Chains A and B, each alone.
Chain A
Amino acid sequence: MPPPSERAGKQAAAQQAVDILHEIATILNTHLDRRTLSICISMIENGVNPEALAIVIKELRKRGQEIELEAAAAAAGVSTVPTRRR
C-alpha cells in the first residue's frame, strides 16, 4: 500500500491533469463540464474508444434535447387541455 502522502500526491497530480484537460476542453469549445469529462476519462481508461464515445455523446445530447422538447411540448399541451375540455 503506498503511504498516504504518496497517494495524496498522486491524487493531486491526477487532479491537476484533469484541470488542464478541462481547460483544453473549454478552449476547444466542447461543451463538456468537469463531471462529464471525468466520466469520459474514466471510460477511456477502461478501454473505450474515444471516437465511438464522441459519437455516443453527440447522440445522447441530441436525444436529450429531443426529450426536453417533448417534455416542454407535453407541458404546454397539458396546460391547454383543461381549457379545451371546459
Chain B
Amino acid sequence: MAFLAQQGALIDELIEAVAGIPKTRRQQRAALRDFVARSLQGHTFTRTNQFEVQDRLRGLEERFAVCGREALAEALDQRLGSLQQHQTPTTPEVLHLLLELADRPAQHAKLSDLDALVAPQEHAPPPLTWREIAREDGWKNERDIWRFIDYAPGSSDEDGVDVESHASLESRPSASSSSSAPEIPPRTAQDAAVRPQGDALLQKVRGSQSWRHAAAADSEGRPRKIPITTTQLLREALFMLAGLPTSLFDSACDPIAKYQLRGVSWEVHRALVTSFAECGLKLAPLRVVADAAEQSPLLQVFQDCVQRALRSFDLELSRIQARLVHARQDNAVVVTPISVLEELGPRLAPLEALADIVRHVRLERNSHHTLRYLELLYRAVGLAQLQGNRETYRLLGTIFFDCFQVYLKPIRLWMEQGELVPGDRSFFIAASPTKLPLPQVWKGQFALLRNPQGALYAPRFLDPAIHRIFTAGKSIVVLKLMGRHEAVRKHKATAEPAMDFATVCPDELEYAPFSELFDGAFRAWIQSKHHTAAATLRELLFRSYGLSQNLDALHRLYLMSDGARSDAFASAIFGHLDARSPGWRDPFTLTETAQEAFSACLDAGRLSAAVDPRALADAGSPPDARSSVRRALPAIRLHYRLPWPVHIVVTDDALRGYQALFTFQLQVRRALGVLRAPILPLLRRGSPRASPDLALYCLVRTKLLWFCNTLLTYLTTLVLAPAAARLHEDLGSAPAAAAADDDDDDADVDDMVAAHAAFVARATAEACLGARLQPVREAMLDVLDLAIRLEDAQRDELERGGGGKGTERRTMTDEEGYEEKGTAGEKMEGGERGRSDKSPTAVLREVHAEFERLLKVVAAGLRGVARASKEEAAAKWDLLAEMLEAGIKM
C-alpha cells in the first residue's frame, strides 16, 4: 500500500500521540494503524471549501461575542489576522480540521490556556555580560593590556608595541601563569594620571586677576582704593561696552568706586570711568532689545538690525583689543583710554540715535510698538540728515527701510489681492465679520481703523497715501466679486519699484530731504499697484454695467426728463384717481402702466411700481384720495432694478431723494392736469362779461396755471437739467482712455459715489424739498390743492347746471370731510361744511384770496431762507422767489 508506505511514520506518531499506546503493544498498534489507513483512504468526504471554513470561523466569533466571551472572540480574530501573513495552500484544511475537533469552545475554552502557551518561550538564555567575558578570557591576568602607551614625540611607538606584543605573547599560552617575571611594575592610577604642565601659568593668571578681590581696606583698616593699571581699565571698559559683566562696572554700567587708576588723581579717574560708563549706558537699551523675544515680524526685523549694528560695534571693540594685546607685546604703540574713547565716538553716535528711539518707545506705554518704531525711525532719519551725520543717516535709513519692507507686506497683499492677513493687528484696515450684500460691500465691508483719539492706525508719514491704498484694495475686492480680477492681473505690466535705502536715497541725492525722497518713492510704489485696479473698475462700471445708461433711465423715470412718457404714465394714474377706481393703488396695475409708458426708453422688465402701505393708510377713501395732492400721490413708488455695481454708486439714500423729487413733480403735474381740463362747457354758459363768476373763474384758473407752470419750469430747467449735466461732467462720462493717464484726474469709485450723492442733495435742496423749506413746501402743496378744489367746484357747478342737485351735493359734501393742516385748511373746512350755503362765487373768491395769500407766503419764505442761508441752493431759491413775485404784482 503506497499510502501506508508514505504515511506510515506519521500514522505511527499520530497513534502514539493521540491514543497514547506504547510501542510494546504491537498488536493493538497494528490494528489501529490499519484502521487509520483504511479510514484515511476510503473516506467519502469532499474537498474543504475554504469559504465555508471562513464562514464557520466568523460564526464562531459571533457566537463567542453573543455568549459574553468577547475576549475570546478578540483573541481568535487576532490569531486569524496573524495567520493571514502565513497562509499556505493547506491552511484552510488545517482550520477545517480544528473546527471539526472543536469541543464546545464557547463554554469550555479558557484564555489562561493561551497564556500558558506563551510561557515556555520566555526562557531565553541569559544575556552575556562583560564581566563574564572578562572572566572567561582572563583579562585580569594579562597585565599588558592595561599598559599605558606614551605617544609623546620623544618616545618611540615601536618599543611600546614590541613590548606589548611581547607581553601578550607571553600571556597567551596560559592566562593564569604569572610566573614570567614582570619587567614593568604594576600600573596604578597614579601612573595613568596626566600631569598638567601649566601650573605656573595658572598661578600667573590667578595672580593677574587678584586685583579684583584685593582687600578694600589697608593694614590700618582705612578704606583705600584698589589700584589698577591702564590695561586693566581698558579691558574692563571694553568688556563693559560689549555688554559683558565686569568688576569695574556694575550691571547698570555705573562705575564701582573701589577701584582707581594708578598714578592718576581720583577726579580724573572718575571722569574717565564715567565717560566710559555713559557710553555703556547709552548702549544698554539696545542690548536689551537684542536679547528680547519678539513676536511681531516687524519687531523681529528691527531686533535683527539692532543685533547686526551691535555686532559690527563688537567687532570694532575686538579690533581695539587686538591692538591693545599687540601693543603690549610690541611696546611701541601706546593705547590710552582717551584715544579709545575718541575712536569709539563716531561708531557710537548712530547706535546712540538708535538707542534713543528704543528708549522713547519703552517710555510710551500705551502706544503700539511697531507703528511708533516706524514713526520714530522716520523722524530720526530726517533729523540725522539735517544734522549732517552721514553714518547715523545711513544706519537709521537702512534699518527704517528694512522694517518698512515688513510693514509693506500686508499693504502689498491688500493692494494686489484685496485680502487681509488674518489676525494682523498692526494693519490699519479691518474687515467687518458679517458678509454684507453686494452693493454695500464697497462702503461697509472694510473700514479704516482709528485709535481712541481718532488718529489713523498707521504711521503718520503714510497719511497722504492711505486713501489710495484703501480704494485700491476695495477695487480689487469688487473686481473679484464681479469676477473680473483676472483681467486686472494680466494688465499689470509695471514691476513694483524697490523700496530700500540704496534705491530711495542714493548718494547723488544726499542733499534732498528724506521726507521728499520717501514720499516720491512711496507714491511711485503705490502708483504701480493702484492705477490698474481703479481704472479697470471705472471702465467696467461704464462699459459692462452701463452706469451712464442706468443713470439716464433713473433720470427718465424719477426726474421725468422725458416729459411725454412721464405724462403718459401720470395721466393714467390721474385717470384712475378721478374715476375713483382702486386701480391707482394696485401695484400690478401701476406696474403695467409704468412699463407700458416707459418701455421704449428703458428696460421695462426691471421696472416695477409699488404702493407704500403707510402712506396708503393716510389716503383714506377714494373721494378723499383724489381731492388732495398730499394723499394718494406720495404713496406711489417706482422701483428700477439696478445691477449691483451700479448700486454702489447710486446708494439707497440717493434713491430716496429721487423718489421725493418724483413725488413732487407728480403732484405739480396733477394740479396741472386738473387745471387743463377743457373749459368749453363753461364758455357755453355765456361770455365772461355776462357772468362775473366765469370771469373770476378764468382769472383764478389762469393764475393757478401760471403758478404750476412756473414751478414746473423752475424744476426742470433750473434745477434738474443743470444738476444732471454737472453730474455727467463729474462722473467723467468717458472712461479712462489710456493707462498712461495721470490717475489723479480720473474719478475713482469713491469720487463717483460722492458726486452722485452731491447731485441728489443739490437737486432736492434746490427743489425746496429740504427741511429748512418745509413751510414753503407746505404752502406750495396747498396751492396745488387749491387748483383741485377750484376744478371740483367748477365741475359741481356744471353738474348742478340749473340747480336741483343740492341733496346730492350735500351728500358729496358730507363725504368730502377732509382734514388739512394749517390755517388755510381750517378755513376751507369751515367753508366746506357750509358749502351748501355758499354760492360758487363765494368759493371762487375764497380760492382767489387764498391763492394770493399763499403766493405771498411762498415768495417771502423763499426770499427769507435764501438770505439767511449760505447754501449753494440759496441762489436758486432767490430765482424762484423772483419768478413768483412777478405773479404777485399781476
Contact = CB atoms under 8 A, between A and B. Distances in A.
Given A17-B86, A50-B94, A59-B35, 8 more contacts: A23-B79, A26-B109, A26-B113, A30-B103, A39-B10, A53-B97, A55-B43, A68-B20
B98 A36 contact: no
A50 B114 contact: no
28 contacts: A17-B86, A17-B88, A20-B86, A23-B114, A24-B80, A24-B98, A26-B113, A28-B60, A28-B103, A29-B102, A29-B105, A33-B17, A36-B17, A39-B13, A43-B11, A44-B90, A46-B6, A46-B10, A49-B48, A49-B93, A51-B43, A51-B100, A56-B36, A56-B40, A57-B18, A57-B101, A58-B101, A64-B19
B699 interface: no
Contact of A31 (B19, B91, B103): B103
Nearest to A66: B19
A29 B104 CA distance: 7
Is chain B's binding surface mostly helix, strand, loop or mixed? helix
Given A23-B79, A54-B100, A60-B18, A28 B105 contact: yes
Interface string A45-86: 110111111111111110110011000000000000000000
Interface size class of B (residues with CB under 8 A): 35 or more
Given A24-B76, A44-B90, A29 B97 contact: no
A22 B98 CA distance: 10
A58 B47 CA distance: 20
State the 6 A-B residue pairs at the shortest beta-carbon distance, nearest first: A64-B19, A54-B100, A17-B86, A52-B43, A50-B97, A28-B102
Contacts of B48: 49-51
B169 interface: no
A23 B117 contact: yes
B40 A41 contact: no
A27 interface: yes
A20 B10 contact: no
B18 A29 contact: no
A22 B116 CA distance: 12
A16 interface: yes
Task: Give the interface centre of B20, B91, B101 by most chain A CB atoms within 10 Å.
Answer: B101
B86 A27 contact: no
A67 B86 CA distance: 39
A60 B19 contact: yes
A64 B40 contact: no
Contacts of B60: 28
B40 A20 contact: no
Interface of B: 6-7, 10-11, 13-15, 17-21, 25, 28, 32, 35-36, 39-40, 43, 45, 47-48, 60, 72, 75-76, 79-80, 82-83, 86, 88, 90-91, 93-105, 108-109, 113-114, 117
Contacts of A53: 40, 97
A11 interface: no
Contact of A27 (B15, B79, B90, B97): B79
Interface of A: 13-14, 16-17, 19-33, 35-36, 39-46, 48-61, 63-64, 67-68
Contacts of B36: 56, 60
Given A24-B98, A27-B72, A29-B105, A55 B39 contact: yes
A45 B97 CA distance: 12
A42 B88 CA distance: 12
Interface centre among A13, A25, A46, A48 (most CB of B within 10 A): A48
Contacts of A41: 90, 94
Given A28-B102, A51-B100, A64 B20 contact: yes
A23 B47 CA distance: 25
B336 to A, nearest CB: 80
B88 to A, nearest CB: 7
A22 B117 contact: yes
A13 B117 CA distance: 18
B116 to A, nearest CB: 9
Contacts of A52: 39-40, 43, 45
B43 A40 contact: no
A58 B232 CA distance: 103
Contacts of B35: 56, 59
A64 B18 contact: yes
B86 A16 contact: yes
A53 B104 CA distance: 19
A13 to B, nearest CB: 6
B82 to A, nearest CB: 5
A74 B866 CA distance: 144
A26 B75 CA distance: 11
Nearest to B88: A17
Nearest to A33: B17
B105 to A, nearest CB: 4
B14 A40 contact: yes
A67 B25 CA distance: 11
B695 to A, nearest CB: 126
A20 B103 contact: no
Nearest to B83: A20
A76 B101 CA distance: 33
A21 B95 CA distance: 8
B2 to A, nearest CB: 12
Contact of A44 (B6, B82, B93, B117): B93
B95 A44 contact: no
B61 to A, nearest CB: 10
Nearest to A19: B117
B40 A63 contact: no
B101 A32 contact: yes
A29 B108 CA distance: 7
A41 B91 CA distance: 9
Nearest to B11: A43
Contacts of B94: 21, 40-41, 44, 50
Contacts of B32: 60, 63
Nearest to A70: B28
A20 B20 contact: no
Contacts of B43: 49, 51-52, 55
A45 to B, nearest CB: 5
B99 A63 contact: no
A21 B104 contact: no
Nearest to B14: A39
Contact of A50 (B72, B80, B93, B109): B93
B100 A35 contact: no
B19 A67 contact: yes
A60 B14 contact: yes
A47 B36 CA distance: 14
Contact of B96 (A42, A45, A51, A67): A51
Contacts of A22: 117
A46 to B, nearest CB: 6
A76 B10 CA distance: 34
B19 A63 contact: yes
B7 A48 contact: yes
B71 to A, nearest CB: 10
Contacts of B100: 50-51, 54-55
